[in-house]
Amino acid sequence: MEYALVTGGSRGIGRAVAMRLAQDGMPVVINYKSNTAAAEETRAAIEAAGGRCELLPFDTSDPKAIEAAVEQWEAQHADDYISVLVNNAGIRQDNILVFMTDEQWHSVIDTTLNGFFYLTRRVVKGMMTKRKGRIVNVVSLSGLKGMPGQTNYSAAKAAVIGATKALAQEVAPRKVTVNAVAPGFIATDMTKDLDEGELKKLIPAGRFGKPEEVAALVGFLASKEAAYITGQVVSINGGLYT
Ligand code: NAP
């Protein structure tokens, strides 16, 4: 059986993506770091809607934890494989560069960029063997345009964009697609400290986006219909200039 694995699937965009993929008929594996209550809530919502869901907590910045979790999942799923991987887990640790600490720099790079590398390397093997797979990386407007106060985050997201384009070319012959979605401002816990009233004046659409809107795009890129789209970065930002 084919499964979808969504990192950072307990809350926000990841939760909406997990719910969307489950609604589209895939059994979903939800990764998260520590918020078990939120992950259980997401699982309950998926199951209440008739979907199938499992939880697989690990820290995307910890390669040993990734290896142990995927190995354990595979041991319990001898006949299954992960055919859709959504690399969505991410954090913000904003500061202007001149005051940025080593911890702020490394935690963002490790969670987003190194997490992408370790997990994708582990999971893409199965997709290549089966000659079928979808990888969708959730990046950001910040990785395309650069945002002051986010050199760490912009660098991590820009690096994942480069990796998306390179990996797409490596695995296209094996019928695996690799794309990125680049949201602007989406209403989640990550943006709840921002002044939405002020920021929405800058957005042509006049509002923050909804996690479900990003999930619909990820759902399409993960679908059969998107077989000929690869190596792309699709912005979803209400018309913000990138
Ligand atoms: P969010 O509401 O803060 O949720 C973050 C999710 O990531 C949670 O499920 C969290 O798990 C998980 N996570 C964080 N660090 C992790 C780690 N080290 N290992 C495993 N899971 C980890 O964030 P969001 O707004 O939905 O953002 C999702 C993605 O979209 C991120 O990559 C973010 O950079 C990107 N994005 C967001 C926006 C926006 O405006 N919201 C815009 C552009 C891009 P726990 O519940 O266990 O903490």
pLDDT digits (tens, 9 = 90+) for 183-235: 999 999 999 999 999 999 999 999 999 999 999 999 999 999 999 999 999 99
- Compute the average pLDDT of residues 68-80: 97
pLDDT digits (tens, 9 = 90+) for 81-91: 999 999 999 99
CATH class of 2-185+211-236: alpha beta
pTM of the model: 0.98
- Would you please indicate which residues are annotated as catalytic (active-site) residues? 153
pLDDT confidence of residue 241: 81
What distance in angstroms lies between residue 231's CA and the mean position of ligand 1's atoms? 22
What distance in angstroms lies between residue 111's CA and the mean position of ligand 1's atoms? 10
Contacts (Cβ under 8 Å, ≥6 apart) of 95 = 101, 104, 149, 152
Domain ranges of the chain: 2-185+211-236
CB distance 93 to ligand 1 below 6 Å: no
Residue length, the chain? 242
pLDDT band for position 242 (cuts 50, 70, 90): confident
Of 51, 121, 117, 49, the residue nearest 82 (C-alpha):
121
Indicate which residue's Cα is closest to atom 11 of ligand 1: 32
pLDDT digits (tens, 9 = 90+) for 151-183: 999 999 999 999 999 999 999 999 999 999 999
What distance in angstroms lies between residue 84's CA and the mean position of ligand 1's atoms? 18
CB distance 185 to ligand 1 below 6 Å: yes
CB distance 88 to ligand 1 below 6 Å: yes
CB distance 87 to ligand 1 below 6 Å: no
pLDDT confidence of residue 77: 97
The chain-wide mean pLDDT, for the chain, equals 98
Indicate which residue's Cα is closest to atom 23 of ligand 1: 190
CB distance 15 to ligand 1 below 6 Å: no
Contacts (Cβ under 8 Å, ≥6 apart) of 71 = none
